[in-house]
Amino acid sequence: MSDAQTQIKETIDANDVVLFMKGTAGAPQCGFSSRVAGVLSFMGVTYKDVNVLADEEIRQGIKDFSDWPTIPQLYVKGEFVGGCDIITEMTLSGELDKLFDDKGVTYDKDAADKIRSANA
């Protein structure tokens, strides 16, 4: 396992929710990363943001680690969940709420409902 792979695994293992993204939660540098970070932040989810633009080895390493070609990538309790389209779908269908409930991740259910109401 490369150093980048080891670092990625340690980050995922050490945090309940991890978002590998372009930019940071406070300053996303791509629309897709911004959307997922925005959903998590609006729902009050505590998560670790990893800026893949800061380290080329991490940027390529996360794609290899997950066997998923795009960024952002969301991990919940060690499990790869998906990228922007999947997180958007899961948020709107309520699947993300169920995942958080099943995994014991704290979030604001009312905020999740507001996202669905606004996009109905």
Instruction: Kindly give, in sequence order, each residue whose CB lies less than 8 Å from that of residue 74, ignoring residues fewer than 6 positions away.
Output: 17, 18, 19, 20, 36, 40, 80, 81, 82, 83, 87
78-92: pLDDT as tens digits: 999 999 999 999 999
Has 84 been labeled as part of a binding site? no
The CATH number corresponding to 3-118 among 3.40.30.10, 3.40.190.10, 3.10.20.30, 3.55.10.10 equals 3.40.30.10
pTM to 2 decimal places: 0.96
Report domain extents, the chain: 3-118
Whole-angstrom Cα distance, residue 92 to residue 117?
9
41-95: pLDDT as tens digits: 999 999 999 999 999 999 999 999 999 999 999 999 999 999 999 999 999 999 9
